[in-house]
């Protein structure tokens, strides 16, 4: 029953009730003795429209409830009212908003373990490109590290298509904070072929704050390709980064680094500037750890006191001691045995001790 029809029926009933009451009062005020009037009186007295009134009220309540209730599944929404009258609904906007995966990534930061677990399980099964897009936002966000690593884990668990889609969105020239946030979780993607070019670019051109962490991740990846990247970075690096890479050269036994390292320690002419002492010490020990036999001649020259007519500078004692130690790590050669025999009587106690041990 339409609302307008209900309203009309209510008004008719109200008028009828009013007229009934007036007629009863008029009749009861007269001295009626005729049978006809008595029958009319009895009829009016026994006419009860309460049921009709109740039916009207119930119909009105049902109408209001139907308007306020949400539409059943598969049914259209109720007609818009107020300021939305005449506005056409845009289902595309609503649909796209409902497809946004980022709120589910935010649930990974929930204090409730079950909520985090359910969100992770649901996200793993989403379409890879949409997962990657929302995942990048989560990883680059200011959420706690635990939540950001969990977001990266979700992408990794979703499989190679999701990881590739995610890594393709990484910009090595991004602002420092998002880039740092990525590097912190990048170890979760070791094994993906898309990761290495990104790490190389960050290590070579990224902000200083990202280089050390990037090198640590590179060390988790085996192979000569990484060795060559480390060589590139070593050439451009300074300070702690250079020292850290020397440690990796030794750990990974990077033979490709030997020619470059020999250039850093070979004796200088008297008029040439000497390189940083601590770096030369580290290079000598690295050559010994690599056990590079091709380094024998230069290490012997570094360890020895130079003759005046050579016009070569004698290295500082700490560098000579490191070179002597390195010689003892190389495969046995006659030249090495002869050099060590001389060095056991060297003027420097540091060198003597290294040669005798």
**CATH code of residue 343:** 1.25.10.10
Given a contact cutoff of 8 angstroms between Cβ atoms, the answer to whether 100 and 134 are in contact is: yes
Q: Which of 10, 28, 59 is the last residue of a domain?
A: 59
Residue 206: Cβ within 10 Å count: 22
- Separation CA 349–CA 338 (nearest Å): 19
Q: Specify the pLDDT at position 75.
A: 52
Widest pairwise Cα distance in the chain: 160
Q: Specify the pLDDT at position 209.
A: 85
Residue 304: Cβ within 10 Å count: 20
Q: Specify the pLDDT at position 94.
A: 44
Q: Specify the pLDDT at position 182.
A: 93
Any domain includes 104:
no
- Separation CA 113–CA 232 (nearest Å): 44
User: Residue 238: exposed, middle, or buried by beta-carbon count in 10 A (0-12, 13-18, 19+)?
Assistant: exposed
Any domain includes 281:
yes
Q: Is the dihedral of CA 185, 249, 207, 174 positive or negative?
A: negative
Q: Specify the pLDDT at position 22.
A: 66
Q: Specify the pLDDT at position 317.
A: 93
Residue 43 corresponds to which tokens in the numbers above? 């009829």
- Residue 301: which of 279, 284, 278 has the closest Cα? 284
Q: 269 φ, ψ to 5°?
A: -70, 160
Q: Specify the pLDDT at position 208.
A: 84
Query: What residues make up the domain containing 277?
Result: 254-357
Any domain includes 42:
yes
Cα separations in angstroms, 123 against 160, 181, 247: 15, 20, 40
pTM over 0.85: no
Q: Which of 11, 35, 59 is the last residue of a domain?
A: 59
Q: Specify the pLDDT at position 310.
A: 81
- Separation CA 266–CA 315 (nearest Å): 9
Q: Report the alpha-carbon angle 148-149-152, nearest 5.
A: 90
Query: Number of folded domains in the chain?
Result: 2
With a cut of 70, list the residues of the chain below it in pLDDT.
1-6, 8-9, 13, 16-17, 19-99
Specify the residue for token string 């290495």. Answer: 196
Q: Which of 59, 81, 96 is the last residue of a domain?
A: 59
Count of residues making up the chain: 357
Any domain includes 47:
yes
The distance of Cα 355 from the centroid of its chain, to the nearest Å, equals 52
Tens-digit pLDDT profile for residues 132-179: 999 999 999 989 999 999 999 999 999 999 999 999 999 888 888 888
Q: Specify the pLDDT at position 3.
A: 62
Any domain includes 313:
yes
Any domain includes 50:
yes
Q: Specify the pLDDT at position 269.
A: 87
- Separation CA 68–CA 87 (nearest Å): 20
- Residue 169: which of 202, 129, 208 has the closest Cα? 129
Any domain includes 30:
yes
Any domain includes 204:
no
Q: Specify the pLDDT at position 184.
A: 92
């Amino acid at each position: 029953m339409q609302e307008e029809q209900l309203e009309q029926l209510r008004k008719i009933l109200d008028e009828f009730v009013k007229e009934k009451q007036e007629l009863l009062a008029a009749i009861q005020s007269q001295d009626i003795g005729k049978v006809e009037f008595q029958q009319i009186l009895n009829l009016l007295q026994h006419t009860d429209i309460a049921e009709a009134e109740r039916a009207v009220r119930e119909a009105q309540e049902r109408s209001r409830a139907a308007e306020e209730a949400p539409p059943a599944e598969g049914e259209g929404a109720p007609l818009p009212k107020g300021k939305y009258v005449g506005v056409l609904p845009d289902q595309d906007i609503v649909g796209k908003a409902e497809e946004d995966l980022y709120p589910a990534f935010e649930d990974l930061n929930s204090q409730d373990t079950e909520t985090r677990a359910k969100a992770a399980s649901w996200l793993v099964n989403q379409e890879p490109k949409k997962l990657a897009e929302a995942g990048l936002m989560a990883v680059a966000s200011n959420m706690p590290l635990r939540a950001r690593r969990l977001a990266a884990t979700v992408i990794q668990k979703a499989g190679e298509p999701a990881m590739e889609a995610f890594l393709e969105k990484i910009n090595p020239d991004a602002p420092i904070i998002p880039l740092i946030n990525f590097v912190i979780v990048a170890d979760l993607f070791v094994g993906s072929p898309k990761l290495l070019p990104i790490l190389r670019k960050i290590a070579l051109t990224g902000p200083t704050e990202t280089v050390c962490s990037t090198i640590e991740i590179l060390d988790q990846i085996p192979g000569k390709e990484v060795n060559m990247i480390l060589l590139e970075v070593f050439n451009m690096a300074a300070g702690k980064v250079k020292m850290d890479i020397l440690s990796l050269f030794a750990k990974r036994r990077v033979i490709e680094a030997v020619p470059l390292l020999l250039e850093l320690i070979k004796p200088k002419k008297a008029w040439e500037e000497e390189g940083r002492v601590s770096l030369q010490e580290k290079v000598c020990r690295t050559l010994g750890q690599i056990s590079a036999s091709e380094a024998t001649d230069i290490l012997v020259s570094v360890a020895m006191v130079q003759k005046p007519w050579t016009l070569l500078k004698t290295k500082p004692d700490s560098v000579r001691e490191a070179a002597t130690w390195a010689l003892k790590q190389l495969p046995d050669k006659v030249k090495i045995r002869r050099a060590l025999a001389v060095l056991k009587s060297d003027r420097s106690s540091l060198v003597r001790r290294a040669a005798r041990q």
